[in-house]
Structure 1
Amino acid sequence: MAVAGSWWPKDAGTEGMSFMQDIAALEGRALEDWLEEAKPHLAVQRTKHVAPSTLARAMTLISPEKAARIFDLLSPATQSDILQALPPPERARFLERMEPDDRARMLEFVPPEFGRTLLEALSSEERALTRTVLDYPAKSAGRLMSPEFVSLMPEMSAEDALLAIRSGEKRADTVFLMPVCDAEMRLLGAVDLAQIVLAAPSTRISDLSTLDVPFVHVTDDQEDVARLMTSADLMIVPVIEEDGRLVGIVTFDDAMEVLDFENSEDFARAGGTEPIGRPYLSVPVFRLVRSRIVWLSVLAVAASLTVNVLDAFEETLESVVTLALFIPLLIGIGGNAGAQSATTIVRALAVEDVKPGDILAIAWRETRTGFVMGLLVSVFAYAILALIFDPSIALVVAVTLVFICTLAALVGAVMPVAAKVLSIDPAVFSAPFVTTIVDASGLLIYFLVARVILGV
């Protein structure tokens, strides 16, 4: 175990960050020793540079308890990579102890045939629980929920409830807060474990439970569920079927994973790429290309609009060559103004600060914002340019800036809302698309203003 002590500080704090590349180079016994000593959450954080096959081999050599704790904290994509690298006996050991909802999320990252193999390797009980989750649509609350929970009945006493919890007849994801149901599993409320423990043994659960309990339906969107839990500060939220039966619970940690994934997805698409879903250095170059090439091609076609505008106003450029000097300035400011607006609205839509029905209010607010920004920038630009170039050229640029900033803010605000109405990810219509559209329309405005002011 000496290797871990020499490669990693005992407190495993931020001092160890400089050793990440060294950890990636560890092989065989060295990596095994390091994993055995490292705290699970730090092992997960620091081994993102380690190849899944290498990590899988090392995890089979450390204590089963430590390996299981590390495996549980890995991302679903990394879990799938490790399972594919493990021999069947070791694979079954990790797979069997996973929570059904975690197992279902992991199966989304494996080839279908291998996924069927994994399911067949499970015990009949775990296979049934996993299929229960997989039967619901992707990205629904049903896919996110845990079907393993403890429910209590209202006529139970506090003493009976504690006995039911301790019996362990059903493995539960959490018992800090438990749903209260009738005999038909219809949700009646929820009760906190602390209330049961502190209550007199004869106290009825109906007297301790909270009746006004937020719940979600199995078909609700996972992101909506996660937002509900963060806004209402919920540790769990019950999940019910259409007939009102309780079928599972969503826990706070799973909700946070959803938000983290959605934020990563929005961030990627705002930059014109598809999310890769894995640590960067573990992704093959071809997969990186595949995640970017589609949107790059679409944007390249859209950018041809800019070329067409320049071609249409070729004579104007030839007569006043100075106008060409300011094209990068104008399209740069317009693109940035549109990106600012789009990013703001995409975020507001994500956290439900605004809804598609607010589109007129959003458009009016962003139009005014863009106009004021354009006015301020244009005054500054005119003061500088009039000292260097002909005042009429400075005026053309200044007036164009007002129009471009106003238009960019409006387009950047409206496009994400329109995408939301069309059930398209608003992040897709964020910075890259808005910038491309504003570039072409901004140049059109520029040359039209030039024709009016300069008479060319």
Structure 2
Amino acid sequence: MPPVTAKDLNTAIDDGRLAYVGRELSALAPQEAAAVLDAMDVGDRTIAFRVLPKNDAVHVFDELTPGAQAALIRSLGTAEVADAFDRMDPDDRAELLDELPSNVAKALIRSLSPAERDATAVVLGFRRGSVGRRMSPEFVHVYPDETAGSAIDRIKERGRDAETIYTIPVVDHQRRLVGVASLRDLLLSASDTLVDEYTKSPIYAYASEDAESTAQRCIDRSLMAMPVVDREERLLGILTLDDAAEVVAAARDEDEARAGAREVLKTPYLHASILAITRARVVWLFVLAISAILTVNVLEIFEGTLEQRVALALFIPLLTGIGGNTGSQAATTVTRALATEEVTPRDAARVAGKEVRVGLTMGAALGIVGFAVASAVYGFDIGTVIGTTIISVCTMAATVGGLMPLLAKTVRVDPAVFSTPFISTFCDATGLIVYFMIAKTVLGI
């Protein structure tokens, strides 16, 4: 039989077949059950979650998105989800708390056991967006001067509460990170062998570093876990590969949304409210509307030029489209290179040099075509204006589009904020200025 779907459960709830709902959800793996619940609207999701057996509900709750978890807490009440909240990993718990009203968050924190409250406080002590906020403070460490047998005993004793045990941080007795050891090496070694013999140089991150870039580094190097330390290199926690993948996926969704001039929806589209969808889009539309006024002002300034040579107006959509697309292509390419650490703000001069040459090359190719077509239809002088403008606009747009993400990174702003529509509008205004200045020079008007 095919697996149950959100639509099946919605129908069953409408028919009052709650036993069927609980049975079908319990038969699914927690990740699959969470995916089904995420696709349901809040009311039916709450009912479906209520009929889950307690042990299943705890595991399913942990797999829900933070937005779905927050919605459940609001509809169920904190007391009903306190057990599931207590059993979440501290980093996931911190992410959920960011979604909740302060009074609800405080109530849930009070429901934690002292040990879990302390672990969550460690994560919450770091700014949002830092890897310290996404690390897990639940790990097992070993010492370089102890035997493999002693290390294995500690792993067995504490491993159930740890986020992962496959990569083991090695610390000195002042808790400073000295390396990492593989569980495989420790298990296969003689029990009296010192851990130091299997300790490798660590790839680690400082807790204050950006979560996205750290997570990408963890993935690129195929690390099962990356130690996270403070400025004195004392071990604070670990970032696991699955958590790193979640961070990168969330950042990718955010970048794609902002490139389309909107924010990420925290609930599935069909279940998102009209107000939520409007909020996700309207702010960027205001920004773009204000920036588009620049284009109107430019046209107003050169109104007299257009009156003398009406044919110039026919090419405005072509030139603004080429400029906006060229700038957006450059910005997208450099933003991706920043995310994968192929470039840094220190490479601004090299990026500018490369984009000038790329823009000049593309502009020359397009400019020749534009010159030929415009000359054939409107004469040599108009063709010269169009060809020269295309070369200039492509070069300028590629350079500006390539440098804007680097500027954003320098001032600690998300490069995705300089989204495709924003750069397009900027290039429209400056491209028109270039266009009319060239036209006045060539045509003598």
TM-score range, shorter chain: over 0.9
For residue 53 of structure 2, the aligned residue among 63, 73, 98 is: 63
Name the counterpart of 2:118.
128
For residue 324 of structure 1, the aligned residue among 304, 310, 313 is: 313
Name the counterpart of 2:65.
75
**CA distance in structure 2 between the aligned counterparts of 1:422 and 1:412, rounded to whole angstroms:** 16
- Give secondary structure in 1 for the equivalent of 2:412: coil
Residues 138-190 of structure 1 show CA distances to partners (whole Å, capped at 9, x for unaligned) of: 22222111111111223332222222222248711111111122333222222
Residues 103-127 of structure 1 show CA distances to partners (whole Å, capped at 9, x for unaligned) of: 1111011011110011111222222
Residue 434 in structure 1 maps to residue 419 in structure 2: no
**CA distance in structure 2 between the aligned counterparts of 1:46 and 1:377, rounded to whole angstroms:** 50
Q: What is the Cα deviation at residue 337 of structure 1?
A: 0.8
Residue 157 in structure 1 maps to residue 132 in structure 2: no
Q: Does the aligned pair in 1 maintain the 2:167–2:225 contact within 8 Å?
A: yes
Cα pair distance change 1:169/1:224, threshold 3 Å: closer
Stretches of structure 2 that go unaligned for 5 or more consecutive residues are none
Return 306-315 or 57-66, whichever deviates more: 57-66
- Give secondary structure in 2 for the equivalent of 1:146: coil
Name the counterpart of 2:441.
452
- Give secondary structure in 1 for the equivalent of 2:431: helix
**CA distance in structure 2 between the aligned counterparts of 1:381 and 1:44, rounded to whole angstroms:** 55
TM-score (norm: length of structure 2): 0.92
Cα pair distance change 1:233/1:327, threshold 3 Å: same
Name the counterpart of 1:108.
98
Residue 139 in structure 1 maps to residue 129 in structure 2: yes
Q: Does the aligned pair in 2 maintain the 1:214–1:238 contact within 8 Å?
A: yes
Aligned residues: 441
Q: What is the Cα deviation at residue 47 of structure 1?
A: 3.8
Residue 360 in structure 1 maps to residue 349 in structure 2: yes
**CA distance in structure 1 between the aligned counterparts of 2:375 and 2:37, rounded to whole angstroms:** 58
Q: Does the aligned pair in 2 maintain the 1:146–1:249 contact within 8 Å?
A: yes
Q: What is the Cα deviation at residue 23 of structure 1?
A: 5.2
**CA distance in structure 2 between the aligned counterparts of 1:316 and 1:242, rounded to whole angstroms:** 61
Return 299-308 or 269-278, whichever deviates more: 269-278
Counterparts of residues 253-264 of structure 1 (less than 5 Å): 253-264=242-253
TM-score (norm: length of structure 1): 0.90
**CA distance in structure 2 between the aligned counterparts of 1:358 and 1:162, rounded to whole angstroms:** 46
**CA distance in structure 2 between the aligned counterparts of 1:347 and 1:169, rounded to whole angstroms:** 37
Q: Does the aligned pair in 1 maintain the 2:371–2:383 contact within 8 Å?
A: yes
**CA distance in structure 2 between the aligned counterparts of 1:56 and 1:156, rounded to whole angstroms:** 50
Q: What is the Cα deviation at residue 20 of structure 1?
A: 5.8
Identity of aligned residues (%): 39
Residue 226 in structure 1 maps to residue 215 in structure 2: yes
**CA distance in structure 2 between the aligned counterparts of 1:346 and 1:429, rounded to whole angstroms:** 10
For residue 333 of structure 1, the aligned residue among 314, 319, 322 is: 322
The residue type paired with residue 382 of structure 2 is I
For residue 35 of structure 2, the aligned residue among 33, 38, 45 is: 45
Residues 394-430 of structure 1 show CA distances to partners (whole Å, capped at 9, x for unaligned) of: 3322221111111111111122222222222221123
Name the counterpart of 2:340.
351
Q: What is the Cα deviation at residue 335 of structure 1?
A: 0.7
Name the counterpart of 1:387.
376
Residues 30-68 of structure 1 show CA distances to partners (whole Å, capped at 9, x for unaligned) of: 543332233333333344330234223212322333333
The residue type paired with residue 114 of structure 1 is V
Name the counterpart of 2:360.
371
Name the counterpart of 1:177.
167
Q: What is the Cα deviation at residue 88 of structure 1?
A: 4.1
Q: What is the Cα deviation at residue 261 of structure 1?
A: 1.5
**CA distance in structure 1 between the aligned counterparts of 2:376 and 2:34, rounded to whole angstroms:** 59
**CA distance in structure 1 between the aligned counterparts of 2:53 and 2:282, rounded to whole angstroms:** 44
Q: What is the Cα deviation at residue 26 of structure 1?
A: 4.7
The residue type paired with residue 120 of structure 1 is R
- Give secondary structure in 2 for the equivalent of 1:190: strand
**CA distance in structure 1 between the aligned counterparts of 2:159 and 2:167, rounded to whole angstroms:** 18
Q: Does the aligned pair in 1 maintain the 2:38–2:65 contact within 8 Å?
A: no
The residue type paired with residue 116 of structure 2 is E
Q: Does the aligned pair in 2 maintain the 1:53–1:82 contact within 8 Å?
A: no
Residue 299 in structure 1 maps to residue 288 in structure 2: yes
Residues 266-293 of structure 1 show CA distances to partners (whole Å, capped at 9, x for unaligned) of: 2222233233343333332222222322
- Give secondary structure in 1 for the equivalent of 2:180: strand
Return 110-119 or 54-63, whichever deviates more: 54-63
**CA distance in structure 2 between the aligned counterparts of 1:146 and 1:279, rounded to whole angstroms:** 28
Cα pair distance change 1:315/1:245, threshold 3 Å: closer
Name the counterpart of 2:109.
119
- Give secondary structure in 1 for the equivalent of 2:353: helix
- Give secondary structure in 2 for the equivalent of 1:225: helix
Residues 287-322 of structure 1 show CA distances to partners (whole Å, capped at 9, x for unaligned) of: 222232222212212111111111112122122222
Cα pair distance change 1:387/1:34, threshold 3 Å: farther
**CA distance in structure 1 between the aligned counterparts of 2:443 and 2:413, rounded to whole angstroms:** 43
**CA distance in structure 1 between the aligned counterparts of 2:102 and 2:77, rounded to whole angstroms:** 18
Residues 228-248 of structure 1 show CA distances to partners (whole Å, capped at 9, x for unaligned) of: 212322111112223332221
Q: Does the aligned pair in 1 maintain the 2:213–2:341 contact within 8 Å?
A: no
**CA distance in structure 2 between the aligned counterparts of 1:227 and 1:168, rounded to whole angstroms:** 29
**CA distance in structure 2 between the aligned counterparts of 1:182 and 1:365, rounded to whole angstroms:** 47
Stretches of structure 1 that go unaligned for 5 or more consecutive residues are none
Runs of 4+ aligned residues of structure 1 deviating over 4 Å after TM superposition are 19-26
The residue type paired with residue 247 of structure 1 is L
For residue 281 of structure 1, the aligned residue among 246, 270, 287 is: 270
The residue type paired with residue 191 of structure 1 is A
Residue 197 in structure 1 maps to residue 187 in structure 2: yes
Name the counterpart of 2:388.
399
**CA distance in structure 2 between the aligned counterparts of 1:360 and 1:198, rounded to whole angstroms:** 51
Name the counterpart of 2:89.
99
Give the CA RMSD over aligned residues. Answer: 2.2
